[in-house]
Amino acid sequence: MRLILGILLFMSALLADEAAYNRGEMLFFSKACSSCHGPAAEGSTTYPRLANKKSKYLRKRLLNFRDGEASSVSQQMMAQFVNKLSDKNIEDLVYFFSHHKREKIDDVDDAYLGGVGS
């Protein structure tokens, strides 16, 4: 009986994680994040890679942007995209980025986000 309960709990956790990933992916494309950060969140020479970054780092940056903390014009632009996201939206985006299913991509210049967190 305990084994069956354990299996059910494990499977429900996997499904919850998959749901968070899917919600984050939908937000990424519906909020047009991909237009700057790339369709695989791979970044470019202008915009940072978000795929497979550490969740703690991503969460901190998104919450700072939402709170209006920006030290550059580029960061002020991000604040405009993030300011209406709920905590749940941010958690879903963080899960999507930090568990990105595509192939891991090499870093590009991350001066935009502060250059840490890879």
Q: What domains can you pick out in the chain, each with its CATH number?
A: 2-98 (1.10.760.10)
pLDDT at residue 76, as a whole number: 85
Question: Distance between CA atoms of 37 and 81, rounded to whole angstroms?
Answer: 13
Q: Which two tokens stand for residue 20?
A: 């968070």
Kindly give the residue spans of alpha helices, DSSP state H, lying in 1-118: 2-30, 34-37, 55-66, 73-82, 87-98
Q: Which two tokens stand for residue 43?
A: 């970044």
pLDDT exceeds 70 at position 2: no
Confidence of residue 106 (pLDDT cuts 50, 70, 90): low
Question: Distance between CA atoms of 65 and 81, rounded to whole angstroms?
Answer: 9
Q: For residue range 39-70, what is the model confidence (pLDDT) as tens digits?
A: 999 998 889 999 999 999 999 999 999 998 88
Q: Closest Cα partner for 50 from 112, 98, 90? A: 98
For the ranges 27-36, 41-50, 63-72, 94-103, which has the lowest average pLDDT?
94-103
Question: Distance between CA atoms of 8 and 25, rounded to whole angstroms?
Answer: 26
Helix, strand or coil, per DSSP, at residue 111: coil
pLDDT at residue 70, as a whole number: 81
CB 79 within 8 A of CB 114: no
Confidence of residue 112 (pLDDT cuts 50, 70, 90): low
Question: Distance between CA atoms of 118 and 115, rounded to whole angstroms?
Answer: 8
